[in-house]
Amino acid sequence: MATHADRCAALAVAISADVPVLIWGLPGEGKTAIIEQIARHNGMHCETVIASIHAPEDFKGMPMQVDGRVIYAPPDWAQNVADAGGGLVFLDEISTAPPSVQAALLRPVLQKVAGSLQLPKQTRFVAAANPPEIAADGWDLSAPLANRFAHIMWDVDAATISQGFAFGFADVELPVIRHARVDPLFASTKAAIGAFLSARPDLKSVLPKSSNESGRAWPSPRSWEMGARLLAYARASDSSQAVQSVLLSGAIGVTAAHEYLIWESALDLPDIEEALRTGEIQLPTRPDMLYMVAAALTRAMLENPSKERLSVGVNSLLVAVADAGHRDIAVVSLRQVARDLKQQKVSLDVRAIDHFGAILEAMGKLEVNS
């Protein structure tokens, strides 16, 4: 079960990953304090905006005519962030913002645009909310806005509070992201999610039926990608399984996250680097796992596209995939490495030409002699 420290770590990871995050919790439980601590820790300007007391124009901009055309003047908070070169925008009390304001938040949160102002790349969005049933004039979040956030359920245990009162509230230890590891982890996680969804297409998009549930985390292609990014950053910081679960559940919902993490933990895949060295591979029989093997093979060839690796990858390994009756999966991988095959002048053997020659010739990536 996740602890308060796990939730704080998850919040810090989400901010580093540039995934908008929404903290749900009771009033007075330190949400603002940890957000401000993370901003200080990262040397970020922190701009607090109380969403409930603003009009839609405070997010989409005030229309004004300039030189015969209408532009949208950016609000003060956005200009402050732009002047600071970026920062953390803290949208407080978002669940008491009426639907018109929630609609106006869609573009700033997802595209970092306020009015006619493009916010700096280093801008991050964090929101905080009380559950609508306890908020003053609370509203359920609209499904489109909710699906732009990773949701973290904030629950501070009594022991943390009592120790804080007795000994003082120390800063929470925050994870350190090893950024060089992020891109390969992101690629492998997306490949794994793609394989999972090939086996569970019913979890691709699941819009909850009630307005309360649709205002929280639910699976969609966008939130699955958010989940992959969050897992990549969490794993690049060696975060615990509890932190990873908090993050993925916050992106796609508890049920889908639980199913994916169980599926992922059961994977027993062959060593791709060993296969590229030997030209031999023991292929799994399940199509979803085979899909993931092919994705991992493709990624390995693209990361180090030497002539020898490409030759083994196509002539031995992708041919093995095609021979196993999954030529469609092999062709998807082949298309990704076709340009490198041509650049490295890789020769295809007879079996590879039988499977892939016509496709590569049609793509202009291979000259097949009759």
- Check which CATH number belongs to the domain holding 54 and give it: 3.40.50.300
pLDDT classification of 18: cutoffs 50, 70, 90: very high
Closest CA to 18 of 242, 258, 255, 225: 225
38 vs 45: CA distance, rounded Å: 11
pLDDT number for residue 287: 84
Q: How many CB atoms lie within 10 A of CB 343?
A: 12
pLDDT: is 118 or 208 the higher one?
118
Indicate whether 353 belongs to any domain: yes
pLDDT: is 364 or 125 the higher one?
125
For 330-356, how does the pLDDT look when each residue is reduced to its tens digit (9 = 90+)?
999 999 899 999 899 999 999 999 999
pLDDT number for residue 152: 96
pLDDT classification of 365: cutoffs 50, 70, 90: low
Indicate whether 10 belongs to any domain: no
280 vs 132: CA distance, rounded Å: 57
Contacts of 68 (CB under 8 A, 6+ apart): none
pLDDT number for residue 369: 44
How many domains is the chain built from? Answer: 2
127 vs 155: CA distance, rounded Å: 16
What phi-psi label fits residue 171: left (phi over 0), alpha (psi between -120 and 50 degrees) or beta? beta
pLDDT, the chain, mean: 90
To 5 degrees, how large is the angle CA 332–CA 340–CA 221? 35
212 vs 200: CA distance, rounded Å: 25
Indicate whether 98 belongs to any domain: yes
**Are 110 and 148 in contact, with CB atoms under 8 Å apart?**
yes
**Are 292 and 300 in contact, with CB atoms under 8 Å apart?**
no
Enter the tokens of residue 205: 């998009």
Indicate whether 258 belongs to any domain: no
Beta bridge partners of 350: none
Domain boundary among 91, 121, 148: 148
Radius of gyration of the chain measured on its C-alpha atoms:
24
The three-class DSSP label of residue 139 is coil
137 vs 142: CA distance, rounded Å: 15
DSSP-derived secondary structure for 288-324: HHHHHHHHHHHHHHHHS--HHHHHHIIIIIIHHHHHT
For 300-317, how does the pLDDT look when each residue is reduced to its tens digit (9 = 90+)?
999 899 999 999 999 999
For 192-228, how does the pLDDT look when each residue is reduced to its tens digit (9 = 90+)?
999 999 889 999 999 888 877 888 999 999 999 999 9
284 vs 182: CA distance, rounded Å: 27
Indicate whether 58 belongs to any domain: yes
- What is the percent of the chain where pLDDT is above 90? 63
pLDDT number for residue 132: 66
pLDDT classification of 1: cutoffs 50, 70, 90: confident
pLDDT number for residue 237: 95
Rounded mean pLDDT of 84-93?
Answer: 96
153 vs 246: CA distance, rounded Å: 8
Indicate whether 243 belongs to any domain: no
For 244-261, how does the pLDDT look when each residue is reduced to its tens digit (9 = 90+)?
999 999 999 999 999 999
Domain boundary among 148, 177, 211: 148
185 vs 208: CA distance, rounded Å: 30
Helix, strand, coil percentages, rounded to 5, for the chain: 55, 10, 35
Place of tokens 């469609």: 328
Backbone angles phi, psi at 32, to 5 degrees: -65, -40
Indicate whether 283 belongs to any domain: yes
173 vs 171: CA distance, rounded Å: 6
**Are 242 and 257 in contact, with CB atoms under 8 Å apart?**
no
For 122-166, how does the pLDDT look when each residue is reduced to its tens digit (9 = 90+)?
999 999 998 866 655 667 888 999 999 999 999 888 888 888 888
Rounded mean pLDDT of 101-123?
Answer: 94
Question: Domain range for residue 310?
Answer: 272-363
Domain boundary among 93, 123, 148: 148
Indicate whether 266 belongs to any domain: no
**Are 261 and 231 in contact, with CB atoms under 8 Å apart?**
no
72 vs 62: CA distance, rounded Å: 5
pLDDT > 70? residue 368? no
